[in-house]
Structure 1
Amino acid sequence: MTSALPALNLLCHPATPCPLALQVSATLHWQASGMLLRYRVSGQVADIQLPPAATPGAADGLWQHTCMEAFVSPVWAAHYREFNFSPSGQWAAYCFSAERQRDTDTEARRPIQPTLRMEHTSEQFDLWAELPATALPPASSLCLGLSAVIETRDGHRSYWALQHPRPDRPDFHHRGGWREMPSVAPNPPTATA
């Protein structure tokens, strides 16, 4: 069973205006196996610099080029996970105990491997990222930060998010840019008589 929330538009940060006419959105689907995210970029996509296809796997520094991101946390919890999804097929998964405080011990204990898929035309590209239930905190509501970095062919980067709490610069780790969203528990408890 799959449950989808309406598409959410991502906004470009005013300090990094995009020279291209683009629309960027994200759609969240809950399914029994976990969370499926679809990022859609439409408009002048021919002028976006997409990373070349690479062997799928974990990689750092993906945010330095066109990349989609998701931040996931239980509501009101200090800890959270960051996921980076590259059109190249590479991904990254990080754990934080508090804002920008990396928790490599938890990362080592709970390795995550998302599944990525790209669909690309001359006017639009979709990046699908499936996160297994083990990547998500067990909570009836989650705080989600959905964001994107878009790089043009001339190397200009613009930063897109649900909202931008800092007017001076983009900051995807800032919880003021995240939203609380209902969760469908990947493995709901069974009723007992």
Structure 2
Amino acid sequence: MNDQTFSLQPFPSKKSLPNLKIVGNIARNGNKLAIRYMLEGDLKEIALAKPTGGIAPLSNTPSRKHELWKDTCFELFFGIKDCQRYWEFNLSPAGHWNVYHFDTYRQGMQEETAFTILPFSVQNQADGLALVLEADLNKIVSAVQEIEVAITTVIKHRDGEVTYWALTHQGAEADFHLRDSFIVEL
């Protein structure tokens, strides 16, 4: 098992940001990928679809939805080492999700049909919000293939401002698709 902790950084901005922290851990055991995000801080400043108590998402019918990145959204990008194709996972605190497949940098975007459901949990905690995903990657990659991962989050603030959080920001603008930012190896 390869278990690593992470801490995301906001893309540099001249605007003052709410006091937030996004940390977590990611692991790959065989071909099972587990990631846990923890969003801590002044959550009342964030436009956040919160789960209703415990683990149940706000939506009673979580489903695959497009353009989740326009609101607060936890994201995960990964590609096979030495291969241009990659996948983007989008996870909404409301329980909605999507997975996309790309042939190369921002090209050939298609919904990844290998996933028909993507169960994950969202929990309100005393010190923040936790989101946990466990995904079986056998549907899209082999257990022997090394993967490179970018862990990201889009935060939409109550005033409509959007900030972009990642392990590293390699471009002049926030761009989660840059392969140079896929820095976690599993």
Q: How does the TM-score come out when normalised to structure 1?
A: 0.82
Q: CA deviation digits over 1:116-171, x for unaligned, max 9?
A: 1011135311111121233452244211011000112221111000100013x100
Listed as ranges, the matches of 1:174-193 within 5 Å are 174-182=178-186
**C-alpha distance in 1 between matches for 2:46 and 2:126:** 11
In terms of mean alpha carbon deviation, does 134-143 or 110-119 score higher? 134-143
The separation in 1 between residues aligned to 2:184 and 2:106, in whole angstroms, is: 20
In structure 1, what residue type is equivalent to 2:87?
R
Letter of the 2:42 partner, please give it: Q
Gap regions ≥5 residues in structure 1: 183-193
Alignment of 1:128-143 (within 5 A): 128-138=132-142, 139-143=144-148
Give the match for residue 38 of structure 1. 36
Change (3 A) 1:29 1:180: closer
2:77 corresponds to: 71
Structure 2 segments unaligned to the other structure (5+ residues)? 51-57
Change (3 A) 1:36 1:143: same
4+ aligned runs moved over 3 Å, structure 1 = 15-18
Asked if 1:101 is matched to 2:107, the reply is yes
Q: Distance in 1 between matches of 2:109 and 2:158?
A: 35
Q: CA deviation at 1:178?
A: 1.2
For the pair 1:173 / 2:171, whether they are aligned, the reply is: no
Letter in 2 for 1:102: G
**1:113 lines up with 2:111 in the alignment:** no
Q: 2:160 aligns with which of 155, 171, 187?
A: 155
Bigger radius of gyration among the two: 1
Aligned residues: 177
Compute the RMSD of aligned alpha carbons: 2.1
- The 1:179/1:114 distance shift into structure 2, 3 A limit, reads same
Partners of 2:11 and 2:96 in 1: CA distance: 25
TM-score, length-scaled by structure 2: 0.85
> What letter matches 1:24 in structure 2?
I
| Alpha-carbon distance change, 31 to 37 in structure 1, aligned in 2, over 3 angstroms | same
SS in 2 for 1:30: strand
Please give the secondary structure, in 1, of the residue aligned with 2:4: coil
> What is the identity percentage for the equivalent residue pairs of Structure 1 and Structure 2?
25
Q: Taking structure 1 as reference, are residues 64 and 103 closer, same or farther at Cα in structure 2, changes over 3 Å only? A: closer
Is contact 1:4-1:27 (8 Å) kept?
no
Cα pair 1:74 1:142 within 8 Å, conserved: yes
**Aligned twin of 1:91:** 97
